[in-house]
């Protein structure tokens, strides 16, 4: 059993004694503590965790946790910095969160209790621990590394992911997005570091300094999370669960589950509900943790309106498609179950792709967003308050594949959504690969290489635009243009704008969808400006941009409200649920334009189209 406890900041040096030996369960913490104190006694100081050193300077040195910067609460969110000393700024805010058992902070940090050796989610119903026994960590991986195990009562691994990795654009956030996508499992730490432009050693140092765990530990925590979901949600054998979660062996899987959850896989599975998550042979059915509220009507409506024929199928409460993953093609369906939860049903060519698929589905449906913080910030502006009240928990759809997202956005320039779907469907039928991995045969969206080779034979439209699409496909195919979930936002935008046929709308739209950037505004989008007009806001590009500045850092979510207030969305949103209808009912706010939008909603516009902008339009 690996035991590791204690850390001290001494003259700017982090001392983290680590021992590896067999100890009896109840003695592990004591052995580690005694070894730590014996080592540090030579320097005349005391180890973290001793009763005399908790937050008390000893010999001119103060003992602190892995995270040496204070935490702050911003727009209802908690930042990723962690502190354990009660006298430092930030500790009191987190402690108030666990006292109130506020569910909106689940997944944003974990609470480790030194007296029990357990870490919990903020909303854990157990008795609130004493302040002097509490350590806060930004990730469960950091708690694992410090020797804590997950609480069996609140199951912190079942919480939604942190929204911080989309809000932030620094190297740590980019690394977390790539780790969730399975890059470490497929390419190792060197592959992750290369994608981010750092050496493996420096990247590990950055993650360790801020999150308390290196990339291997973070990937291990992600595998444990996937394994837990499979154990409690499916009837897969332990071996299948192990390899589906990304473990290299059953023994590694068993040891990790025992260390993280404090029980063997068999016992963890025994705690699940009686109903099975497997509906057919080779099919996996899992619940997707979500922070509520969530606008499922808007999400499924958006997916249905943009579904590519042959690739995607959208319904009122479901969305299914086939996707190309590292291990081969996969099929999945996200549906709204009778109990109100979102569920994922999937069939994969390689079980090892499951963690990657779950991560990408969560990004596609924006399931790690913090809707209460977003709604609170947007509703603070009286002009948008009715929109937020009408559609609480609005989400911004993401992307399942970065290359596909760029090509679809370019195909959709200067034409309506319906025309874009028709062209994308024609392209898929001619160049896509038909697969039978799902319940029925479907077609994978064409690869960049296929579009580069034969795209001009299939695509129809202005010659310059068709050439630009094919050139972009060629660049994606030969690697001269790379797109991914771990890109730096500003760098990605600059690289896209440097290419022919890609303007600000396309570059920013891809950044919004692929990176999940929450602060993107598209002033060139006519549909969004029409929605702004329906809400009584400035609709000219300059006025629209200037007014929306006050909504930072949530302008992407404001864009969703603008789109939903536009007349073109009324075909699949009930008038009673649209922001325009609410705005039209407000006394004194019934402008001519808002009234026209509400009237168009009642008439149920028969076709979903989006007017073209000067050079680009919505995919």
**Nearest Cα to 136, choosing from 103, 105, 176?**
105
Distance CA(178)–CA(196), nearest Å, equals 9
Secondary structure, 3-state, 411-473: HCCCCCHHHHHHHHHHHHHHHCEEECCCCCCEEECCCHHHHHHHHHHHCCCCHHHHHHHHHHH
Reading the block at residue 243, the tokens are: 């390899």
Distance CA(432)–CA(454), nearest Å, equals 11
- Total length of the chain: 619
Asked if residue 79 lies in contact with residue 370, where contact means CB atoms within 8 angstroms, the answer is no
Task: Enumerate the β-bridge partners of residue 134.
Answer: 113
What DSSP designation does 263 have?
S
Q: Is 166 annotated as catalytic? A: no
Residue reference for tokens 């990723």 = 80
Distance CA(115)–CA(506), nearest Å, equals 53
Residue reference for tokens 């079942």 = 158
474: Cβ–Cβ under 8 A, 6 or more apart, which residues?
448, 452
Reading the block at residue 72, the tokens are: 């702050």
Q: Quick one: how far is CA 34 from the chain centroid?
A: 40
Distance CA(234)–CA(240), nearest Å, equals 11
**Nearest Cα to 387, choosing from 563, 517, 238?**
563
123: Cβ–Cβ under 8 A, 6 or more apart, which residues?
101, 102, 103, 105, 106, 154
Q: Quick one: how far is CA 182 from the chain centroid?
A: 13
Reading the block at residue 334, the tokens are: 């996200």
Task: Please identify which of the residues 35, 36, 120, 154 carries the catalytic annotation.
Answer: 120
State how beta strands 2-3 and 19-20 pair.
antiparallel
Task: Please identify which of the residues 66, 285, 368, 525 carries the catalytic annotation.
Answer: 525
**Local structure of 77: helix, strand or coil:** strand
* Count of Cβ atoms closer than 10 Å to residue 376 Cβ: 14
Q: Quick one: how far is CA 390 from the chain centroid?
A: 25
Q: Is 35 annotated as catalytic? A: no
Distance CA(2)–CA(408), nearest Å, equals 49
Please, how many CA atoms are within 13 Å of residue 499, restricted to the half-sphere of its CB? Answer: 25
Question: What residues are annotated to the active site?
Answer: 120, 525
């Amino acid at each position: 059993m690996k035991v590791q406890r204690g850390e001290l900041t001494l003259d700017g040096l982090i001392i983290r004694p680590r021992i590896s030996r067999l100890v009896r369960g109840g003695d592990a913490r004591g052995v580690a503590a005694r070894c730590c104190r014996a080592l540090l006694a030579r320097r005349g100081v005391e180890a973290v965790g001793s009763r005399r050193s908790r937050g008390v300077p000893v010999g001119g040195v103060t003992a602190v946790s892995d995270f040496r910067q204070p935490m702050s609460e911003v727009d209802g969110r908690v930042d990723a910095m962690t502190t354990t000393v009660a006298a430092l700024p930030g500790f009191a805010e987190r402690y108030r969160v666990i006292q109130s058992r506020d569910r909106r902070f689940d997944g944003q940090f974990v609470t480790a209790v030194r007296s029990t050796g357990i870490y919990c989610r903020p909303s854990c119903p157990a008795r609130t621990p004493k302040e002097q026994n509490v350590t806060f960590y930004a990730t469960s991986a950091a708690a694992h590394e410090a020797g804590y195990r997950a609480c069996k009562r609140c199951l912190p691994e079942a919480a939604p992911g942190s929204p911080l990795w989309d809000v932030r654009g620094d190297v740590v956030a980019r690394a977390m997005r790539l780790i969730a996508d399975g890059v470490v499992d497929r390419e190792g730490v060197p592959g992750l570091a290369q994608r981010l432009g750092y050496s493996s050693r420096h990247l590990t140092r950055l993650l360790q300094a801020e999150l308390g765990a290196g990339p291997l530990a973070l990937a291990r925590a992600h595998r444990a999370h996937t394994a837990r979901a499979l154990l409690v949600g499916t009837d897969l054998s332990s071996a299948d669960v192990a390899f589906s979660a990304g473990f290299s062996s059953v023994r590694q899987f068993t040891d990790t589950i025992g260390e993280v959850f404090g029980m063997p896989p068999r016992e963890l599975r025994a705690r699940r509900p009686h109903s099975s998550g497997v509906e057919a042979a080779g099919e996996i059915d899992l619940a997707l943790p979500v922070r509520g509220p969530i606008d499922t009507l808007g999400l499924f409506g958006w997916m249905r309106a943009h579904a590519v024929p042959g690739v995607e199928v959208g319904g009122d409460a479901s969305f299914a498609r086939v996707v190309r993953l590292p291990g081969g093609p996969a099929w999945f369906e996200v549906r709204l179950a009778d109990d109100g939860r979102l569920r994922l049903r999937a069939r994969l060519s390689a079980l090892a792709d499951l963690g990657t698929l779950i991560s990408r589905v969560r990004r596609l449906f924006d399931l790690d967003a913090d809707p209460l913080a977003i709604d609170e910030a947007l509703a603070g502006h009286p002009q948008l308050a009715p929109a937020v009240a009408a559609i609480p928990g609005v989400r911004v759809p993401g992307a399942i594949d970065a290359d596909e997202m760029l090509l679809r956005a370019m195909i959709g320039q200067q034409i309506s959504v319906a025309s874009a779907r028709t062209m994308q469907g024609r392209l898929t039928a001619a160049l896509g690969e038909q697969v039978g991995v799902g319940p029925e045969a479907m077609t994978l969206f064409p690869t960049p290489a296929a579009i580069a080779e034969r795209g001009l034979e299939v695509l129809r439209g202005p010659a310059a635009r068709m050439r630009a699409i094919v050139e972009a496909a060629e660049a994606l195919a030969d690697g001269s243009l790379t797109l991914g979930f771990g890109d730096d936002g500003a760098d990605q935008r600059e690289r896209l704008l440097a290419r022919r046929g890609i303007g600000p709308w396309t570059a920013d739209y891809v950044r919004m969808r692929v990176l999940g950037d929450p602060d993107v505004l598209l002033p060139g989008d006519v549909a969004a400006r029409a929605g702004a007009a329906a809400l009584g806001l400035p609709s000219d590009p300059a006025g629209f941009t200037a007014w929306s500045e006050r909504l930072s850092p949530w302008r992407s979510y404001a864009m969703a409200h603008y789109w939903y207030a536009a007349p073109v969305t009324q075909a699949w949103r009930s008038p009673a649920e649209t922001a325009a209808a609410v705005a039209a009912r407000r006394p004194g706010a019934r402008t001519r334009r808002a009234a026209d939008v509400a009237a168009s909603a009642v008439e149920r516009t028969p076709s979903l189209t989006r007017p073209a902008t000067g050079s680009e339009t919505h995919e």
